[in-house]
Amino acid sequence: MNTKIFYKNSRPYMQIVTSFLLLFSVFSSNAQKKYYPDADWQTKTPAELGMNTQLVDSAIRLAINSETKTDVDLRIANYKAYVREPGYQILGPMKDRGKPAGLIIKNGYIIGQWGDVQRVDMTFSVAKSYLSTVAGLAADAKLIR
């Protein structure tokens, strides 16, 4: 069998098959529509998303039981943390820290929550982690250098 002739003659068929597969993959990915939450996030049970409910409940209990021992009054907590810093002073408003609260999110759905998740609390080091993540994503997307 002359392979040059075979490949030369099969090229149009390969283009048709490739085009068909490309179209099929585009339409099949649209069939599995992704959920992007708006201001009102939907909730689902862990089981609905194929997760072990007992493990999610265990994670929630661990989060609640791991509350920090830091003073609830954040002015006191901050002064204790920075007592050795020369000239340290708090320049802005501070408020008492709330009880443990959080969400577990899977595929855009809330599958677990505890505490008052509507309460606005002070954040400190978490801002650095968040900013680092956003900067890393922006660098990967070539939005920054």
Residues with Cβ within 8 Å of residue 63, at least 6 apart in sequence: 100, 102, 114
Q: How confident is the model at residue 127 (pLDDT cuts 50, 70, 90)?
A: confident
> Which residues, in sequence order, are bridge partners of residue 104?
112
Domain ranges of the chain: 1-33, 36-116
pTM over 0.75: no
pLDDT digit string, tens, across residues 59-95: 999 999 998 888 999 999 999 999 999 999 999 989 9
Q: Is 97 in contact with 77 (CB distance < 8 Å)?
A: yes
